[in-house]
Amino acid sequence: MAKQNELLIKEIEEDDPILKNPVEITKFDWDENGNLLINFNHQIPNKWHIAFFKVGGPYNYDISPKRVVFTEYGAKLKIPESDSYIRSAKQYISEWIPQANRNYKEMIIQERITREQEKREMIKLEIQKKQRHTEILEILKKK
């Protein structure tokens, strides 16, 4: 089972664009409305957003779905912020990205392993059902 999971993990890492090329910040910017804008290297799927908001930590800075908005199909992050917190926001977001990538990887791998285990279990049950059917037919054929 462990060997199967290792092979599955390698397959997942090769198939998933975020795992192949993890999310990175490409640019920090500030707009005229007082929002910190953060551009990423590519569009980010919703599951990565979930991984991002799971990071948490001992920060005195509020990075929550209520305040932080992914825009442009997830390729940009917008945070309403006062200029006094810009350094903190930049630092926290920079620290959160690698952890969000790790969270995302764990989520994707666990989901896939669970799906594969469920498939194997369904196949196993189907085989058992067919075997039982064959056994019953054999019993019925006997005189």
> What's the chain look like in SS3?
CHHHHHHHHHHHHHHCHHHHCCCCEEEEEECCCCEEEEEECCCCCHHHHHHHHCCCCCCCCCCCCCCCEEECCCCEEEEECCHHHHHHHHHHHHHHHHHHHHHHHHHHHHHHHHHHHHHHHHHHHHHHHHHHHHHHHHHHHCC
Please give the chain's pLDDT, 143 residues, in tens.
667 667 777 777 778 889 999 999 999 988 888 888 889 998 888 899 889 888 876 555 556 656 677 776 667 777 776 667 778 778 888 888 999 999 999 999 899 888 888 999 999 999 999 999 999 999 888 87
Number of domains in the chain: 1
**Which residue range forms the structural domain that includes residue 121?**
2-141
